[in-house]
Amino acid sequence: MNDQELYSRLQELRQKINYHNFRYHVLDDPEISDAEFDQLLVALREIENEHPEWITPDSPTQRAGAPPVEKFTKIAHPAPILSLGNAFNITEVKAWYERIARLDERVRQVDFVVEPKIDGLTVVLHYRQGVFVQGATRGDGEIGEDITHNLRTIRALPLRIPVNPQGPAAPAYFVVRGEAFIPIAEFEKLNRRLAEAGERTYQNPRNTAAGSLRQLDPALTASRPLTLLVYQIVAADGDIPTTQIATRQLLKDLGFPVPAATYCQSIDEVIQVCIEGEKKRDTYPYEIDGLVIKINDLILANELGSVGKDPRGALAFKFAAQEVTTRLLDIGVNVGRTGVLTPYAILDPVEIGGVIVRQATLHNFDFIEEKDIRIGDRVLVKRAGDVIPYVIGPIPELRDGSQIPYQPPSTCPACNQPVEHLEGEVAWYCVNSACPAQLIRNLEHFVSRGAMDIVGLGIKIVIQLVEAGLVKDVADLYALDQESLLKLEGFATKKAENIIDAIEASRQRPLASLITGLGIHGVGEVLAQDLTRHFRSLDELARATQSDLENIEGVGPNIARSIVDWFQNPANQKVLQKLRTFGVWPQAQVEEKPLQNQSLAGLTFVVTGTLAGLTRDEAREFIQALGGKVSSSVSSKTDYLVVGENPGSKFDRAQELGVKIIDEAGLRELAQK
């Protein structure tokens, strides 16, 4: 393929990627699978790697490709980015309408558009010749901060308009306003991932979105599930629509995501929508704190002018607050299936949004300490939709001296074994492998393919075994017999035989699989393999000191301490003794395989995030096949961090240590040297 044909292919790929991005992130109606989309992106990256001079700012590959900045520069907006006046009840909505009707009688003949008031961060987006060139925060309404590179990471933001080549032509200069936010479901997923990883969770979607967009490193922004909705044209060359309905249609035709809206022919209809809207606030996929009432006639709305920074032609109808105060009676602790201890507030019952709330989340123990939350405090509690109520913080000025500072537990409330809190981590853990609160999860992990690979022992059967009292720790699996299984619902002879055969077969699994299955905090499949190169049995590993372990690549102080503590735990020692008794005590057999191609020899890699063309296992095999080493954690000995979509805390650690950061294309390029 000559350069002309290759350039045509590049333009075709960009157009396809932008179109499918629009289908997925704006219309929520994808036409191709994620794998097919990733293949398009890989093909585009390969061409751009071959011809870096063809890379342009609007290329889909440039969404998270900018280096960190030292600070945000200031940008003057082309027109004032006004705020809104508020109405907190229907009487105030009627009063607003009467005020503007007295200013101009034409108001009594107008129609309206009512849109949700999204609780996010206002952004201003600039396009020239259809290409996104600059983006800013609202700031003070006159001057905002340049967050262009961060905004590029938002998949719903079109880098070129129109997205559909058959759409209307974009004005040569076009500036729009919208709201960036994190959907509620994505926010909950993010917090679950962070909690399971023992990292700090976030309090609410709005602050998380704002903080993510004001990161100095766009790669960190890219790891957050941000999206946006656009609802206003701020400035443009040429004619622009004169009604809000037409404005919304033009924005939609150009490829922008726009918020839902209700058309109202009169103020009476507006009032009815406001009344019904408060009842429906929890049906939105994002947090809203009200509705925005807009006069559809934008020329008239503009002629009505402003009061300060509030335009007269629009009004925010604010919903009743979903925050209340109540007394914190006590702090309880839940033990999750991963062993993480999570505090929760026991409250003096209080009604929030029509629901009686008796308990609320406190996020983590660091949050309690940072906010100085004390038992007996008057606390501010928020509930939004189906989201679990959470404590925002205490009201210190209401203290009378009877409040008691809180101390995290030193033992697990489920099994009374000592808990572990590693330096630099948010989470507190119960490391007892037989802890009742995490037994099902431990068993599920132990039998998984990456561990002991006991085929047929799915989560439903694991739950049956635990509920029947047949299994109280992972070692008990090897005491099961066909007779005991046949007593369980759904078991026939053949099924019981298959399970017993699979358990017997697992006795032949290598040492690394058993180490993985033990569920030691911080020890995954990769590190388990590394440990077997230094320790030939569980006896040797159990005798290892903190210093011995820290000398291994990929093992830092926290993981070393976690391993030592696990083996010193009396309950875990009993499990190990039972495994030995049942004959599940493999020895390491290190087999050195000759390397045919050693282009990555001597280099240590860590992989984080979701790569476009490789799974995590495939990436590890790819690196190892070329002589490289893959570690599970970033350290000063790491040569490269390979980053995909949604990287975790390893990205931050790599930056702190000055480790080179590359993507999948960079890895492939390195492998070819």
Residue range 430-465, pLDDT digits in tens:
988 888 888 988 999 999 988 999 999 998 999 999
Neighbours of 503 (CB within 10 A): 22
Neighbours of 121 (CB within 10 A): 23
Burial tier of 197 (Cβ tally within 10 Å: 0-12, 13-18, 19+): middle
Q: Of 397, 172, 159, 384, nearest to 289 (Cα)?
A: 384
Residue range 595-626, pLDDT digits in tens:
456 889 889 998 888 887 787 778 888 888 88
Q: Mean pLDDT across the stretch 221-233?
A: 92
Q: Mean pLDDT across the stretch 57-63?
A: 78
Tell whether the model's pLDDT for residue 135 goes beyond 50: yes
Q: Are 663 and 640 in contact (CB under 8 A)?
A: no
Helix, strand, coil % over all residues of the chain, rounded to 5: 40, 20, 40
Residue range 499-548, pLDDT digits in tens:
999 999 999 999 999 999 998 988 888 889 889 989 999 999 999 999 99
Cα 110 to Cα 301: distance, rounded to the nearest angstrom: 10
Classify residue 561 by its DSSP letter.
H
Residue range 66-116, pLDDT digits in tens:
555 567 899 999 999 998 988 989 999 999 999 999 999 999 999 999 999
- Helices 205-213, 184-196: axis angle to 10 degrees equals 80
Q: Which amino acid, 594?
A: P
3-state secondary structure of 390: strand
Instruction: Give the pLDDT score at 28.
Output: 62
Residue 346, strand partner residues: 330, 359
Cα 309 to Cα 324: distance, rounded to the nearest angstrom: 30
Instruction: Give the pLDDT score at 235.
Output: 96
Residue range 182-223, pLDDT digits in tens:
999 999 888 888 877 767 777 678 888 888 888 877 778 888
CA angle 420, 656, 646 (to 5 degrees): 80
Q: Both ends of the chain: CA-CA distance in Å?
A: 23
Q: What are phi and psi of 291, to 5 degrees?
A: -125, 150
Active-site positions?
117
Instruction: Give the pLDDT score at 51.
Output: 87
Tell whether the model's pLDDT for residue 663 goes beyond 90: no
Residue range 401-433, pLDDT digits in tens:
999 999 999 999 989 999 988 777 778 989 888
Residue range 559-573, pLDDT digits in tens:
899 999 999 999 999
Cα 35 to Cα 42: distance, rounded to the nearest angstrom: 10
Instruction: Give the pLDDT score at 595.
Output: 45
Tell whether the model's pLDDT for residue 56 goes beyond 80: yes
Cα 158 to Cα 128: distance, rounded to the nearest angstrom: 13
Instruction: Give the pLDDT score at 70.
Output: 62
Instruction: Give the pLDDT score at 353.
Output: 65
Question: Which of the two residues, 632 and 78, has the higher pLDDT score?
Answer: 78
Residue range 468-504, pLDDT digits in tens:
999 999 999 999 999 999 999 999 999 999 999 999 9
Instruction: Give the pLDDT score at 521.
Output: 85
Q: Whole-model pTM?
A: 0.55
Q: How far is CA 604 from CA 563, 642, 654, 662, in A?
A: 22, 11, 13, 13
Task: Write out the two tokens for 542.
Answer: 């159990």
Cα 358 to Cα 213: distance, rounded to the nearest angstrom: 35
Q: Using H for helix, E for strand and C for coil, what is the string for 476-494?
A: HHHHCCHHHHHCCCCCCHH
Cβ neighbours of residue 577 under 8 Å, at least 6 residues apart? none
Q: Are 132 and 160 in contact (CB under 8 A)?
A: yes
Instruction: Give the pLDDT score at 455.
Output: 92
Domains of the chain in sequence order? 3-62 (1.10.287.610), 86-318 (3.30.470.30), 323-405 (2.40.50.140), 430-581 (1.10.150.20), 604-671 (3.40.50.10190)
Cα 33 to Cα 451: distance, rounded to the nearest angstrom: 30
Q: Which amino acid, 546?
A: Q
Cα 81 to Cα 90: distance, rounded to the nearest angstrom: 26
Q: Are 385 and 413 in contact (CB under 8 A)?
A: no
Q: Of 166, 175, 122, 148, nearest to 58 (Cα)?
A: 148
Cα 644 to Cα 662: distance, rounded to the nearest angstrom: 9
Mean pLDDT over the full length of the chain: 88
Cα 518 to Cα 445: distance, rounded to the nearest angstrom: 8
Cα 110 to Cα 293: distance, rounded to the nearest angstrom: 12
Residue 76, strand partner residues: 143
Q: How do beta strands 374-375 and 355-361 pair?
A: unpaired
Q: What are phi and psi of 567, to 5 degrees?
A: -75, -20
Measure CA 321 to chain center: 26
Burial tier of 615 (Cβ tally within 10 Å: 0-12, 13-18, 19+): exposed
Cα 606 to Cα 628: distance, rounded to the nearest angstrom: 11
Cβ neighbours of residue 664 under 8 Å, at least 6 residues apart? 42, 45, 611, 612, 613, 614, 619, 642, 644
Burial tier of 101 (Cβ tally within 10 Å: 0-12, 13-18, 19+): middle
Measure CA 340 to chain center: 19
Classify residue 32 by its DSSP letter.
S
Q: Are 378 and 326 in contact (CB under 8 A)?
A: yes
Instruction: Give the pLDDT score at 354.
Output: 65
Tell whether the model's pLDDT for residue 552 goes beyond 80: yes
Task: Write out the two tokens for 230.
Answer: 């656009």
